[in-house]
Amino acid sequence: MSEFQELVDAHYQPLFRFAVSLTRDPDRAADLVQETFCTWAEKGDQLRDRSKAKTWLFTTLHREFLAQRRRASRYSDEPVESLHGTLASSEDDADRQMDGQRALELLGSLDETFRAPLALFYLQQHSYKDIAEILEIPIGTVMSRISRAKEMLRRQMTAEPASAPKNILQLNPEALRQHHG
């Protein structure tokens, strides 16, 4: 198996999940991942430390997403779609965890500034340090954006109809992974 194929096999799914969390569209996400691997094929040999390939791939994907978004904003007046869903009732955990699908919908409603670090942290289990490198922002900014994103999600959940549990304050990463994997 070639080194390139091994790289694709090892990183395709995590990159795809991150791309879906950014684009909210599986087709666009697949294109974004493909573009990332094409960039690796062209420039990956410039990376001296191969142990940083994962971070390089996530950084490249994020940069390409931002570039595509900038290009699209120049030519499109299409409003950002709002995602609505219902909170599925769960028996034992309803008062402590939010349903994975609902969490993904709410995650999709966040601005990319907050969505990207939260997705990298909870969906991809990246460290704050790795997220800072991928997004090219200081580690303190990563921490504050994750904290603010979680608070935004809490507020959105408490704004739900009265039938939703009122003390859903904890994002459940396992539920998110189940719906993404």
**Per-residue tokens: 60:** 């490249």
Most confident by average pLDDT, 84-98, 105-119, 148-162: 105-119
Do the beta carbons of residue 103 and residue 170 sit within 8 Å? no
How do the domains of the chain map onto residue ranges? 3-75, 100-180
CA dist 141 and 108 (Å) reads 20
**84-93, 105-114, 153-162: segment of lowest average pLDDT:** 84-93
For 100-180, the fitting CATH number among 3.40.30.10, 2.20.25.90, 1.10.10.10, 2.20.28.90 is 1.10.10.10
CA dist 123 and 22 (Å) reads 12
Q: Span 3-75: which CATH code?
A: 1.10.1740
- Split at pLDDT 50, 70, 90, the class of 108 is confident
Q: Angle at Cα 16 formed by Cα 160 and Cα 56, nearest 5°?
A: 115
In 3D, which of 140, 146, 106 has the Cα closest to residue 124? 146
pTM > 0.95: yes or no: no
Whether 3-75 shares its CATH topology with 100-180 is answered: no
> 117-145, pLDDT tens digit by residue?
998 988 888 999 999 999 999 999 999 99
